[in-house]
Structure 1
Amino acid sequence: MADPAVLKQLRESLKGLETGGFRRRPALPFGIPAIDSRLADEGLRLDALHEVAAGTSDMADDCAATLFLAGIAARAWGPVLWVVRRRDLFAPGLAQSGLDPKRLIYAEAKDDAELLAVMEEGLRHRGLGAVIGEAKRADMTATRRLQLAAEGGRTIALLMKRAAREGSDPIAMPSAAVTRWRVTCAPSTPLPVAGVGRPRWKLALARQKGGEGFETIVEACDATGRCALPPVMADRKAVAGGTAPRRAA
């Protein structure tokens, strides 16, 4: 019989060849224990669909949700496909959240149905680090197709849900997404002098499979795509004996 250690090493070598030398992580952590510890997968599952919506119809919240998506994609591996309905993405803004424009592939869809189809095709390609789309209507069937397309790969699927009509809740409709988030602007970091400090967001996990929802305040993504706990919150946890570094590792 072959040595079990040799067989194990062979399996690991074959696995590396099958994935192009990459070892697929099961999840993409935020690097903030206060958030990762409350997620069922200790991060965002890479082979899954995640939905994000602005907390209100205000343009500032819409931008915050967009930058939140950019930060997640920035921390994923490889090229990123971003499918849009309108040409309103601002590349320098995405870069400030860590997403290098050189990694981006843009696709423009004529309607939500075409957008979801392009996303599905991108997920099945297996050569992308993230696939992002922005849609008003994506029912259970459509989101289930995206979830199935993502499963078994290492391409995270990110769907930004926009309100179908004024005052409606973008993530009220049933969905197959593993996590569903709302992002709302919060008062920026105070400065000792006149000016505007680092932006802050209220992240609300409205739903997750295998866990409970929660809300927290974070400082917006930096140039590496990482959020951070505000200093007061981080200091409070440190005093209480917890481990909550201000910036993600």
Structure 2
Amino acid sequence: MSGITPDPWHDRVVTDPRLSGASIERVDGEAGTVVLVGVLHDHPASTYRVRTVLDAVAPDVLALELPPLAVPLAAHHAADDLTPPALGGEMSAAIQAADTERVVGIDGPSIGFLGYLAAELYAERASLATVRRTAAALRSVTSTAVTRRAAAAVAALTTLQVAVDGPTAYDTGRRDDPERQAAEERRRIETAESMLRVFTPPPAAAIKRTARERYMADRLATLGRTGDVVAVVGRAHLGEIAGHLRDGE
């Protein structure tokens, strides 16, 4: 493939608010295009958006905002007979819809991410208390990632669907009501953005977020040198990751 041009899902944008341009970004590179799909975890509008983009294009790589350790469990959920899968939210829906076998997790924890986190702590001249809180948060997400990997291993040996976290419930009405789905998703995103503007996050949280966004952007830049990429990332990270990618061109 030599770039995703034009965006083949755009003919639906005018009739389906779930495909708002505010939730889809693209960054064209010399070797390939990175299409970023912003999502709200488990939201049906986000799941629809992910599936629509992936139904329209065949990327060389599907990149997910998941730790590498968590990808096998998402892939297990994606093998569900239901469409979209009953478990795993938009991440498993993306794997199910993608016409590629190359699925990668681009988020921490990972060895590479630790370097970015350490660099950010150093750049911010973080206090000892901030370092300790950052380390505690890292231990927590690492424990969760390891649990997901263990659950995938158990699931591979059985016919059971193993759930680490239950799906989030949203009041979006019927599955075929795009207006209501889009409005409910937009309301939740705007509420979250308003909270971020009003409340300054603790230093440890801000450092971790910055490190994650830079790490994910650099991972996507590397993947984009090998072909076209569709990346499913949290809506809150969409703008920063896209900005880092464009700055690195």
Normalised TM-score (structure 2): 0.34
More strand as a share of residues: 1
Normalised TM-score (structure 1): 0.34
- Which structure has the larger Rg over C-alpha atoms? 1
